[in-house]
Amino acid sequence: MSPGRLEGKVAIVTGAGSQLDDGVGNGRAAAILFAREGARVMLADRKLSAAEATLRMICDENPAAEVEALEADVTSDTDCRLMVERALARWGRLDILDNNVGIGIGGSVVDVTEDDWDMVMRVNVKSMMLASKHAVPAMAASGGGAIVNISSIAAMRPSRLTPYATSKGAVISLTRAMAIDHARDGIRVNCIAPGPVYTPMVYAGGMPGELREQRRRASPLGVEGTGWDVGYAALFLVSDEARYVTGVVLPVDGGVSITGPGRR
């Protein structure tokens, strides 16, 4: 059997769990795909049980997979430091960081409360800064690496989601700044902007069938996106196949972001 695309690599995936034990969102999909391709993966999630569910999925496929579940709040500097230290203690290096944690808060600047504004910025932006702050030196010491941040097409095509869209726009700016800051360390930093993908974060609370169909029809391809689509994009961006790619924002949206008003 030929080696996997990430053989010998060590990865941390934040938000590696799911709101549903059997659901597959962006983080869980990336973690599973990284492990399939030979990476040793630290599965970090605010809920240990969610990370453990991902671990079971991976080990059910491959009992020899090297994975570890870790409870971590990535809005905490201490937790982010310990997360990286744990990966280094177990595997001796760090090559990949996949930043998946995020929440959605809608409304306008008139509607949103100060507490909600601060929370969405803390979870969606500060978490990625803190995780990267501790991952970058470890990657540099390992000879380089790759970071993927998850944004959203809402950053480029906002619609009554001002707090969320603003935070995801900040993720894009953070990605580009980090790509310049850490290029000399051999670290590539890229961003994925998912469209209306059907993930547990979206449907855990219930989604009417007509709304799900409307979201599918919004894509000119006429297909429904899932966490797997985002996971496969992340797999490419962290692999050596993307060695000449950094600072990009990759929409994974079935073409939604390039359609005109009449097409929606």
User: What confidence tier does 159 reach under pLDDT thresholds 50, 70, 90?
Assistant: confident
| Non-local CB neighbours of 94 within 8 Å, separated by 6+ positions | 10, 12, 84, 87, 88, 135, 138, 139, 142, 145
User: What confidence tier does 225 reach under pLDDT thresholds 50, 70, 90?
Assistant: confident
- The yes-or-no answer on residue 203 being catalytic is no
User: What confidence tier does 118 reach under pLDDT thresholds 50, 70, 90?
Assistant: very high
Question: What is residue 63's predicted lDDT score, i.e. its pLDDT?
Answer: 95
Averaged over 170-180, what is the pLDDT?
A: 98
Averaged over 35-41, what is the pLDDT?
A: 98
> Residue 264 pLDDT > 50, yes or no?
no
Averaged over 178-182, what is the pLDDT?
A: 98
Ranges 172-176, 185-189, 206-210: which has the least confidence: 206-210
User: What confidence tier does 101 reach under pLDDT thresholds 50, 70, 90?
Assistant: very high
Adjacent-strand bridge partners of 70:
44
Averaged over 56-80, what is the pLDDT?
A: 97
How many angstroms separate the CA atoms of 122 and 106, rounded? 15
How many angstroms separate the CA atoms of 227 and 30, rounded? 8
> Residue 185 pLDDT > 80, yes or no?
yes
CATH topology of domain 10-250: Rossmann fold (3.40.50)
The ranges assigned to domains in the chain are: 10-250
> Residue 158 pLDDT > 80, yes or no?
no
Amino acid, single-letter form, for residue 100: N
Q: What is the 3-state secondary structure (H, E, C) of 56-119?
A: HHHHHHCCCCCEEEEECCCCCHHHHHHHHHHHHHHHCCCCEEEECCCCCCCECCCCCCHHHHHH
Q: How far is CA 258 from CA 9, 53, 152, 154, 156, in A?
A: 35, 36, 14, 12, 10
- Which residue has 């290029």 as its token pair? 183
Tell me which of 164, 198, 203, 232 is the catalytic residue.
164
Structure tokens at 136: 């970058």
Q: How far is CA 59 from CA 20, 71, 91, 225, in A?
A: 18, 18, 18, 26
Judge whether 45 and 71 are in contact, CB under 8 Å: yes
> Residue 1 pLDDT > 60, yes or no?
no
> Residue 132 pLDDT > 90, yes or no?
yes
| Non-local CB neighbours of 257 within 8 Å, separated by 6+ positions | 153, 156, 157, 193, 195, 251
Question: What is residue 167's predicted lDDT score, i.e. its pLDDT?
Answer: 96
Question: What is residue 197's predicted lDDT score, i.e. its pLDDT?
Answer: 84
> Residue 263 pLDDT > 50, yes or no?
no
User: What confidence tier does 262 reach under pLDDT thresholds 50, 70, 90?
Assistant: very low
**Closest Cα partner for 187 from 237, 240, 246?**
246
